[in-house]
Amino acid sequence: MSFIESVRARAVWDSRGCPTVEAEVRLDSGARGLAIAPAGASTGAGEARELRDGGERLKGLGVDRAVRAVNEVLGPCLQGMDITDQVGIDAAMCSADGTADKSRLGANAITAVSLACLWAASRQAGLPLWRHLSGTNEVRLPLPQIQIFGGGAHAKGSVDVQDFLAVPHGAKSFAQSLEWVAEVYHAAGKALSAQGKSLGVADEGGFWPQFGSNEGAIEALVKAIEAAGLRPGRDVSIALDLASTQYFAEGFYHWRSENRRFDKDQLLQLYTRWVQDYPIVSMEDGFAEDDIEGMQAMTHALGHKLQIIGDDFFVTNAPRIAERAGQGACNAVLIKPNQVGTVSETRQALETCRARGLGSIVSARSGETEDVSIVHLAVGWGVAQLKVGSFARSERMAKWNEGLRIEEDLGRALPYPHPHLFAWQHSS
Ligand code: 2PG
Ligand code: MG
């Protein structure tokens, strides 16, 4: 057994140049774990709360209070605990915080410490984190969802839909899936430059498009898949994160870029046509975080041929997943550790998905760093899909590259991707 000797935190910087919390856990054996909390921009109202300093400095985003919460409260509280007892460690942090949303000590502080403990435990066991988590279970690499165009809260003034993503479900290995998406990404960039529509890249590295409409971005993505020499719908399909909470107000969905507004029925009609006209396999947050009726209608109408993901809708919260899935809303759940704040609660959310027959996708946030924990969680926990943003910027590439290293360790002997994924595409 090995025990926690110290837990310290420091402020570091994320991919948007904003401060975030890094935690460092040291064991009596000398083993060490390090992890950094990510940060969202299109956050759900039900997420665990970050602790930020407020005030003028750094637009109020400083994390000195969260760092102090680690150094003065969480560290002393965890000192001496058995590092293999992740559930106990996380429970101790939750009770030290004492709030339902982790707002006293901060979900940024608690997430960083929880993940750093997990890394320390894997180091102590002498195993890569994914192997430490998987035990003797068979594992394989997840199928990626990779952003090609970014919009919404990640590219202000662009289109309203947040993520236009490529899903390379026809690839035979993780390495091949990345190579295919690289071709699509570069083909998309080339086409945008040729048309004079490139505005650089959005928060997650996807191109920041100047399209006249949201549908225009979908058309451009289909063309980019073709230009890359790949077959839309057979090799590479499309996923959308509508992030619709961002433009829902007073019962209507408002698309500023097109000066249009939709009621629930009209929005569902539009989605239904898109699914007919384009090779779309997955749609996330198609209705707003509390629009249970909209999500139920969407799942009822399209759930047999489409992955319908709840992100802000579920906020990685096990009781909320159980309740809302029981009402027939969504058939898959986005899993983001910092939405709920600890490794154990993230695991509970995943177990709830499995018990209810829901799909799951481990996801990064729009504000990220070099931290690669989520790749290990996805592989080690056997989650079939991974969403990390685009195919540019090192906070994203660090994760894709970590997946390549893990695939090499595994020897690529396993079937890829997970065979049940998007089965209707393979058989069409
Ligand atoms: C999402 C994420 C990642 P954010 O909505 O799925 O794309 O965005 O981290 O801003 O919530
Ligand atoms: Mg989302």
393-426 pLDDT tens trace: 999 999 999 999 999 998 866 678 776 688 555 4
Average pLDDT over residues 60-73: 98
Average pLDDT over residues 309-326: 97
Residue 138: what pLDDT? 85
| pLDDT tens figures, 247-275 | 999 999 999 999 999 999 999 999 999 99
CB of 246 within 6 A of ligand 1: the answer is no
Ligand 1 centroid–CA 40 distance in Å is 6
As a whole number of angstroms, the distance between CA 25 and CA 8 comes to 7
Choosing from 18, 47, 311, 330 the residue with most ligand 1 atoms within 8 A of its CB, the one to mutate for a pocket test is 311
Choosing from 14, 16, 42, 314 the residue with most ligand 1 atoms within 8 A of its CB, the one to mutate for a pocket test is 42
- Output the pTM of the full model: 0.97
Residue 156: what pLDDT? 78
Do you find a cis peptide bond into 417, omega within 30 degrees of 0?
yes
Q: Which residues face 236 on adjacent strands?
A: 232
Average pLDDT over residues 321-349: 97
| pLDDT tens figures, 151-195 | 998 887 689 999 999 999 999 999 999 999 999 999 999 999 999
**Nearest-ligand number for the alpha carbon of 42:** 1
Average pLDDT over residues 8-30: 98
As a whole number of angstroms, the distance between CA 235 and CA 180 comes to 9
Residue 155: what pLDDT? 80
CB of 163 within 6 A of ligand 1: the answer is yes
Ligand 2 centroid–CA 30 distance in Å is 39
Residue 413: what pLDDT? 64
Tokens, residue 191? 């086409």
Q: Kindly give the pairing relationship between strand 163-167 and strand 32-36.
A: unpaired
Residue 370: what pLDDT? 98
Specify whether 204 is catalytic: yes
CB of 43 within 6 A of ligand 1: the answer is yes
Choosing from 241, 282, 315 the residue with most ligand 1 atoms within 8 A of its CB, the one to mutate for a pocket test is 241
Residue 428: what pLDDT? 41
- Ligand 1 nearest atom to the CA of residue 40, by list position: 9
The residue type of 307 is Q
Average pLDDT over residues 311-326: 97
pLDDT band at 364 (very low <50, low <70, confident <90, very high): very high
Ligand 1 centroid–CA 400 distance in Å is 17
Q: At a CB cut-off of 8 Å and minimum separation 6, what does 157 contact? A: none
Ligand 2 centroid–CA 13 distance in Å is 22
CB of 243 within 6 A of ligand 1: the answer is yes
Tokens, residue 357? 């027959």
CB of 232 within 6 A of ligand 1: the answer is no
Residue of 24, 47, 183, 204 marked catalytic: 204
Ligand 1 centroid–CA 367 distance in Å is 8
- Ligand 1 nearest atom to the CA of residue 364, by list position: 3
Residue nearest to atom 3 of ligand 1 (CA): 365
Specify whether 156 is catalytic: no
What rounded mean pLDDT belongs to the chain?
95
* Residue 244 reports pLDDT greater than 50: yes
Average pLDDT over residues 367-391: 97
Residue nearest to atom 2 of ligand 1 (CA): 365
Print the SS3 string covering the chain: CCEEEEEEEEEEECCCCCEEEEEEEEECCCCEEEEECCECCCCCCCCCCCCCCCCCHHHHCCCHHHHHHHHHHHHHHHCCCECCCHHHHHHHHHHHHCCCCCCCCCHHHHHHHHHHHHHHHHHHHCCCHHHHHHCCCCCCCCEEEEEEEECHHHCCCCCCCCEEEEECCCCCCHHHHHHHHHHHHHHHHHHHHHCCCEEEECCCCCEEECCCCHHHHHHHHHHHHHHCCCCECCCEEEEEECCHHHHEECCEEEEHHHCEEECHHHHHHHHHHHHHHCCEEEEECCCCCCCHHHHHHHHHHHCCCCEEEECCCCCCCHHHHHHHHHCCCCCEEEECHHHHCCHHHHHHHHHHHHHCCCEEEEECCCECCCCCHHHHHHHHCCCCEEEEEECCCHHHHHHHHHHHHHHHHHCCCCCCCCCCCCHHHHHC
Residue 185: what pLDDT? 98
CB of 316 within 6 A of ligand 1: the answer is no
Tokens, residue 232? 């839309």
- Ligand 1 nearest atom to the CA of residue 203, by list position: 10
Residue 418: what pLDDT? 77
Ligand 1 centroid–CA 81 distance in Å is 33
